């Protein structure tokens, strides 16, 4: 079973059908349920992942179907703003979705993964977390916070055949790229060796590799 957060976002929608060819999918969305995807092995559920109680309820109600779980933490929020006057409430909101919800989901699923001696945890991060970007400092900080967390998960639970890896995305068609404007997009494109932006197929290939490989663990 694949558990995907951020299923209604740009990239989430792009990879849903491909994920359904790998395994059954529990697709989590927060506000708008995707209307154009109707596949028998994709189940949509509305969950506010910033609320620990909703996460617990979601896992409990689906426990009987949670076998050989691959958790893909794709949900993210990015609120633009310069660091000097970034509002505290927006810092908390960013970390609540990008970090804290990730931790709570993993904590809730770990007993299931341990009992089945199988688990794949894939934290979706961003190249922005490594390089920084004007106006995205808090988003970058939240993504960087996943590094030590994921590596520690790998060290603590590898003995149960559970892996934890980070998939740091560059610039892909759809998603946050659409917000950056044509001028910025052209400047980024010049720096990419392939001279193209990433596609959903590239993400799916990486996810399938991390799901199938037991040895890759604690990597970014």
Residue 135, judged by CB atoms within 10 A of its CB (0-12, 13-18, 19+), counts as middle
Higher local confidence (pLDDT), 112 or 34: 112
Distance from first CA to last CA of the chain, Å, rounded?
23
Q: Is the pLDDT of residue 208 over 60?
A: yes
* Burial call 186-216: b when 16+ CB within 10 Å, e when fewer: eeeeeeeeeeebbebebbbebbbebbeeeee
Q: Is the pLDDT of residue 179 over 80?
A: no
pLDDT in tens, 184-200: 778 878 888 888 888 88
Sort strands 25-29 and 42-46 into parallel, antiparallel or unpaired: parallel
Q: Is the pLDDT of residue 174 over 70?
A: no
Mean pLDDT, residues 18-27 taken together: 96
Q: What percent of the chain has a predicted confidence (pLDDT) above 90?
A: 69
Give 189's strand partners: none
Q: What is the pTM of this model?
A: 0.90
Reported confidence tier of residue 69, pLDDT bands at 50, 70, 90: very high
Q: Return the pLDDT at 180.
A: 66
């Amino acid at each position: 079973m694949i558990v995907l957060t951020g299923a209604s976002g740009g990239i989430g929608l792009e990879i849903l059908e491909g994920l359904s060819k790998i395994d059954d999918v529990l697709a989590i969305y927060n506000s708008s349920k995707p209307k154009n995807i109707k596949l028998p092995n994709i189940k949509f559920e509305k969950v506010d992942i910033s609320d620990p109680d909703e996460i617990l309820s979601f896992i409990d109600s689906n426990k009987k179907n949670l076998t050989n779980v691959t958790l893909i933490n794709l949900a993210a929020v990015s609120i633009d703003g310069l660091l000097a006057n970034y509002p505290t409430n927006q810092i908390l909101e960013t970390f609540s979705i990008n970090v804290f919800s990730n931790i709570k989901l993993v904590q809730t699923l770990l007993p299931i993964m341990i009992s089945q001696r199988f688990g794949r945890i894939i934290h979706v991060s961003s190249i922005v977390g490594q390089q920084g970007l004007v106006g995205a400092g808090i988003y970058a900080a939240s993504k960087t916070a996943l590094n030590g967390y994921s590596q520690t998960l790998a060290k603590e639970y590898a003995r149960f055949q559970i892996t934890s890896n980070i998939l740091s995305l560059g610039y892909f068609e759809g998603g946050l790229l659409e917000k950056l404007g044509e001028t910025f997009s052209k400047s980024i494109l010049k720096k990419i060796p392939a001279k193209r932006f990433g596609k959903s197929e590239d993400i799916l290939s990486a996810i399938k590799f991390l799901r199938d490989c037991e040895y890759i663990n604690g990597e970014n």
